[in-house]
A and B are shown apart, each in its own frame.
Chain A
């Protein structure tokens, strides 16, 4: 599917909690161009996951409008424009890697297993797991499981990938590997990616644009356009520009006057 952009205006979200209304997000505007890699960076509880779901049309905002590829967000879900990579892999334990990667095509698009398998295999190849297609989830490492989860989203050939802290639970070394892999996948597919993380270096390494969200109703503290060269490889991490970016973003996220 052709990559799509997202345009969000005046987004607000509040939940009723113990009869009190809590406003999580207020008056946010966001424009995401097709094919770009955009990251929402912020501390836990700033509403970045909520915003991600709203941008994908999975969650309806209390106020504001979201248009995906020029269409109302609700149609994006029905049209299966969205490929979601949740926080945990959430694989079905009784299905092999390739069956898990086919799963959404089968259930959502009503395809038969044999028809869904080729796309799933291509996606597994893209994430570097072609050799593990018959393995069951409990035979996979954490990083491999998360790659199956990414393949499951890619197999749908979505217009937009939504990734909700997908590498948060992985160890640092695996995480670095996954970031490199994701940069590679993004370059190969040209999908629009909206990525949520609280890791500053991950955000800078992967993104074209980083939106830093604060704890005050998700207000954007800064929007940073990352002017690092592509393709991004390990060398980028040693680039002084990279260090400058991460230092600048750290300034927003450090707790103030509490230490």
Chain B
């Protein structure tokens, strides 16, 4: 059970009040520039180090090299990025549906909790990336094995966080609902599900980053296109700049998707102010 506990990310406390939009942008810039400086400095040092120590571009590509490669192969890379993005998005949506449904059913029906919950936790012990070759064997090189792998890797943090959120209902509120004869379904849909949103979002943030890993690993194991496939392909060709170019794009994709999740949270905050949007911290 220790494993299960570690995966729960508790939602942070509510940030009091709203800020003025102008102040928000200035605040954002102020909070972003230190990490941006370090980031750029890192790239400059990298470039210099490769130059000074005379490392061959076969071992470590210079940033200038793989950025140039990125521009040269932009059509191919764009195609691959699009393929991988689709895999991640479809996989994540499927995982969201499976994860939330499972959590709701488990909390609603205690016999299902007894039947499924231990198995779900047990399943966490399986190193799921190792399932990729099996899924390829069963479903071929298309979209299906990628989606399956992503679901298998990402549903757990969603389900677990959602379960914790659904159970986080105030006991006094539960009593109040019973005092007017509300049904369990009413309590679930009107109280428990909205209450669980901050927990669900914490789980979705973990899940979206795991989804990127799932897509890349699935592509390693067998694919016809995609960024993971390109990294694999470039490695067989000893084309290090292309590898780094694809790697950069995967990382960027992960970052964008993570922040997209924060944006969604921010939008939902208008209706459900108890969701916290800690996008920059």
Interface residues in chain A, defined as those with a beta carbon under 8 Å from any beta carbon in chain B: 53, 56, 58, 77-78, 80, 82-84, 86-88, 90, 92-94, 104, 107-108, 136, 138, 156, 162
Which residue on chain B has the smallest CB distance to residue A106?
B190
Smallest beta-carbon distance B188→chain A, Å: 11
Known: A82-B180, A93-B273, A107-B186. 10 other contacts (CB 8 A): A56-B179, A77-B178, A93-B14, A93-B274, A94-B273, A94-B274, A107-B177, A107-B190, A108-B180, A156-B180
| Distance of A156 Cα from B272 Cα, bound (Å) | 25
Known: A86-B172, A90-B170, A94-B272. A138 touches B179 (CB 8 A): no
Known: A107-B186, A136-B273, A138-B14. A90 touches B173 (CB 8 A): yes
| Cβ-closest 5 pairs across A and B | A86-B172, A108-B180, A93-B274, A90-B173, A90-B172
User: Are A58 and B182 in contact (CB-based, < 8 A)?
Assistant: no
Number of A-B residue pairs with CB-CB distance less than 8 Å in the complex they form? 59
The yes or no answer to B194 lying at the interface (CB within 8 A) is yes
Q: Which residues from A are CB-within-8-Å of B19?
A: none
| Distance of A56 Cα from B181 Cα, bound (Å) | 12
User: Are B179 and A82 in contact (CB-based, < 8 A)?
Assistant: yes
User: Are B170 and A88 in contact (CB-based, < 8 A)?
Assistant: yes
- 26 CB contacts below 8 A, A to B, read A56-B179, A58-B179, A77-B178, A77-B179, A78-B181, A80-B181, A84-B179, A86-B172, A86-B175, A87-B172, A90-B170, A92-B191, A92-B194, A92-B195, A93-B274, A94-B272, A94-B274, A104-B176, A107-B177, A107-B180, A107-B186, A107-B190, A108-B177, A108-B180, A108-B181, A138-B14
| Distance of A136 Cα from B179 Cα, bound (Å) | 24
Q: Which residues from A are CB-within-8-Å of B272?
A: 94
User: Are B176 and A84 in contact (CB-based, < 8 A)?
Assistant: yes
| Distance of A93 Cα from B173 Cα, bound (Å) | 12
Which residue on chain B has the smallest CB distance to residue A108?
B180
Per-position contact with A for B165-209: 1 when CB-CB < 8 Å, else 0?
000001011011111111000100011001100000000000000
The yes or no answer to B34 lying at the interface (CB within 8 A) is no
Q: Which residues from A are CB-within-8-Å of B170?
A: 88, 90
Q: Which of B32-60 contact A (CB under 8 A)?
A: none
* Most chain A CB within a 10 A radius of its CB, from B16, B195, B271, B273: B273
Known: A93-B274, A94-B272, A136-B273. A77 touches B175 (CB 8 A): no
Q: Which of B175, B194, B195 contacts A84 (CB 8 A)?
A: B175
Q: Which residues from A are CB-within-8-Å of B177?
A: 107-108
Which residue on chain A has the smallest CB distance to residue B274?
A93
Which residue on chain B has the smallest CB distance to residue A88?
B172
Q: Which residues from A are CB-within-8-Å of B186?
A: 107
Q: Which residues from A are CB-within-8-Å of B190?
A: 107
Smallest beta-carbon distance A238→chain B, Å: 35
| Distance of A56 Cα from B61 Cα, bound (Å) | 75
| Distance of A24 Cα from B231 Cα, bound (Å) | 69
Q: Which residues from A are CB-within-8-Å of B273?
A: 93-94, 136, 138
